Amino acid sequence: MAQLIDGKKISQEIKDELRETVAELKAQGKEGALAVIQVGADPASSVYVRNKKKACEYIGIRSESYELPEQTSEEELLALIRKLNNDPKINGILCQLPVPAHMDEDKIIRAIAPEKDVDGFHAQNVGALVIGQKGFVSCTPAGIIQLLKRSGVEIAGKNCVIIGRSNIVGKPMALLMLRENATVTVCHSRTKNLPDVCRQADILIVAIGRPKMITADYVKEGAVVIDVGIHRQEDGKLCGDVDFAQVEPVAGAITPVPGGVGPMTIAMLMHNCVEAMQE
């Protein structure tokens, strides 16, 4: 039986710690406010945005909602971001992705002032992570580090294999694991002999976006398995990129879906918002 890594419990611990920090900062006269922008009404994005606003309320910071119609022009969105960049009452800005196809996502990310970029997507924050300087770190990989540390998983010296090389998860994940002194391998769609490479992992982090792709033959006995995927199955139930029923008996520890990595992303967004308050 693998140890179950409980993201729901750990994310709650983090939010409770942040709530206390916010109360202390408020006593010093510091206020927090996050601007949350959503363009269009994608149902999944609406759920994420609602949960982010709820988390703000829980830890005691204000959130301002900007729900823009799908037809909003790129220039209108950029103008809103410029206004929020210059608003001293706002210390974090988040634009929920994806934006509609007529907008250039990179341009939107670049427009957010790096010191308010609580998603950690701006090139300046990504660059800071690469060279080990201070900056906002992308929330999902930062949350995975917290899951590992708070579950007592040792990272230094371990073989870590990451599947997926996205700007939001795979690449920052590799940099964070390197910062923690793991030996890091990043795999992707062109990797040869993927199961063989994965079986070298003491810690296997899966962010491929394909339901239940990782079966028992990818996993070394006793390995720690972190599943970033989330998919709705035909029967309405959620599953990850890892075939949990197959992998759980082989793994030493594993995250469930739901209740693993998912809740950590919002907890770490709140962490970044509290950091932004302290600037």
List the catalytic residues: 52, 96, 119
Q: Site size for ligand GUN, by CB under 6 A?
A: 7
Residue with smallest beta-carbon separation from ligand GUN? 97
Nearer to ligand GUN among residue 125 and residue 250 (C-beta) = 125
- Give the one residue of 6, 117, 119, 227 binding ligand GUN; rule: CB under 6 A: 119
In whole angstroms, how close is the CB of 36 to ligand GUN at the nearest point? 9
Q: Does 94 bind ligand GUN (CB under 6 A)?
A: yes
- Give the one residue of 25, 78, 97, 216 binding ligand GUN; rule: CB under 6 A: 97
- The three state secondary structure string of the chain is CCEECCHHHHHHHHHHHHHHHHHHHHHCCCCCEEEEEEECCCHHHHHHHHHHHHHHHHHCCEEEEEEECCCCCHHHHHHHHHHHHCCCCCCEEEECCCCCCCCCHHHHHHHCCHHHECCCCCHHHHHHHHCCCCCCCCHHHHHHHHHHHHCCCCCCCCEEEEECCCCCCHHHHHHHHHHCCCEEEEECCCCCCHHHHHCCCCEEEECCCCCCCECHHHCCCCCEEEECCCEECCCCCEECCECHHHHCCCCCEECCCCCCCHHHHHHHHHHHHHHHHCC
- Give the one residue of 81, 129, 139, 267 binding ligand GUN; rule: CB under 6 A: 139
Segment lying near ligand GUN (by CB under 6 A), choices 63-71, 83-91, 93-101, 231-239: 93-101
> Interface mask (CB under 6 A) for ligand GUN, residues 37-76, using x and -?
----------------------------------------
> Interface mask (CB under 6 A) for ligand GUN, residues 244-273, using x and -?
---------------------x--------
Q: Rule CB under 6 A: which residues touch ligand GUN?
A: 94-97, 119, 139, 265
